[in-house]
Amino acid sequence: MAWTGSPRLDFRSDTRTVPDARMREAMAEAEVGDDVYGDDPTVALLEERVAELLGTEAALLMPTGTMANLIAPLAASGPPESPAPRVIAGADTHMAFLEADGLRRFGGVELIPVAQRPDGLPDLDALAALLATGADSPTVVCVENTSMMHSGNALDAQATGSVAALAHRYGAHVHLDGARLANAAVALGVPPAELAGPADSVAFSVSKGLGAPAGGLLCGSREYVARARELRGWLGGSLHQAGVVAAPALLALGRLPDLAADHETAAALASGVASVPGVELMRPPRPTNMVMARLAGLAPDECAARLAGHGIGVLPLPNGYVRFVTHRAHDMIGVREAVRALATVAAGVPKARPATDGDHPDGNSPRHQRRKHDNEATSART
């Protein structure tokens, strides 16, 4: 019988984690003040701990990582009278893919997409060409780690440093969207501060695999964070008794090593998915907690819908893949269920004969359709 409600096993995102009993207890017992006046002790402690973790002078609690990425380039441009910055980000990054409209509408920022390498790092030649054109406004170059649309690949400090060195030669500010920087650090076996080091500002999430119910932090110099605090107030992001949000986030920081278990679960899932006939698996150089797969002859939306019919939740993506993200609610039993469901879906896809452009005199060949889909997806992202 097909599953018709919410998925039994939800692999759509690691934001699907829920606070456990310890986190709920911490929220109930949190010592609070008023963070608008700067006197919530639990928030202050969280900001101090995250700044120390990432090796920055200061950190600022935000309601969401999206707000952190919105404020990040605006704070980098200087005082309020400064012109809106020019923001350059990888075409497949979260900022370009899902946050560009917010940057334009609320920050007056036009995001310029740049090509990315297969590992998710901005292509240095393409980035250099954009930087060389110059601009009348400040420039912010963004790097994403882990790289979401590249199956959560973890970028090492050398990779981020190569972008930072190029950007700094042109006087640009480097912002690191480190929503899953904790995953990257665990996968690479290095401190988060090492990965954050090349950047001028870092956005860091506690509400994904770390499991806190809400919150992201924007980190940088004291001067930079002071500007960000002012912008947060203008955008309505200031919180009063925010210690109830900071308390579970403090617990989440202590669980950073636990992300290794999520990576092991993802590796087992990837191995199982790769064994399913007809499935193509994206293989990142340094995998973390994401698995991306696609089925020949089946659009990602349809693949996700059929998996949902078996109680498995995945996220369809415009690159033709569906995304599985593992977190602490998943185990090997769930992995086996997901693989079985995918195998059942794959078995139901008709095996089409290879087609050529000559079979489609109207130009609607598979190659043409793929090119059309890629163009439409690129247009939607930018």
In tens, the pLDDT along 104-113 reads: 999 999 899 9
User: How many Å apart are CA 331 and CA 49, to the nearest integer?
Assistant: 30
pLDDT at 353: 54
Same fold, 9-14+258-349+360-381 and 19-255: no
CATH architecture of the domain covering 9-14+258-349+360-381: Alpha-Beta Complex (3.90)
Where residue 372 falls among pLDDT bands split at 50, 70, 90? very low
pLDDT at 247 > cutoff 80 = yes
Query: Which pLDDT score is estimated for 5?
Result: 53
Regarding pTM above 0.85, the answer is yes
Nearest C-alpha neighbor of 207 from the set 265, 241, 249: 249
Architecture of domain 19-255: 3-Layer(aba) Sandwich (3.40)
CA-CA-CA-CA torsion for 137, 138, 144, 149, nearest 10 degrees?
10
- As to burial, measured by CB atoms within 10 angstroms (0-12 exposed, 13-18 middle, 19+ buried), residue 39 is exposed
Torsion angles phi and psi, residue 113, rounded to 5: -75, 145
Q: What does the pLDDT look like over 265-285, one tens digit per residue?
A: 999 999 999 999 999 999 999
Is residue 225 within 8 A of residue 219, CB to CB? The reply is yes
- The domain ranges of the chain are 9-14+258-349+360-381, 19-255
Site of tokens 């890629």:
374
Mean pLDDT of 123-131: 97
DSSP H helices in the chain = 21-29, 41-54, 65-76, 94-98, 100-107, 124-132, 157-169, 181-188, 192-196, 222-234, 243-253, 259-274, 300-308, 332-347, 366-381
DSSP classification of residue 91: T
Q: What are the residues whose beta carbons fall under 8 Å from the beta carbon of 309, sequence distance 6 or more?
A: 2, 3, 4
Residue whose C-alpha is closest to residue 322's, from 353, 348, 355, 298 = 298
Give the rounded percent of residues in the chain with a pLDDT score beyond 90: 84
Whether 172 shows a pLDDT value over 80: the answer reads yes
Measured CA to CA, the distance from residue 134 to residue 113 in angstroms comes to 16
Region class of 121: left (phi > 0), else alpha (psi between -120 and 50), else beta? beta
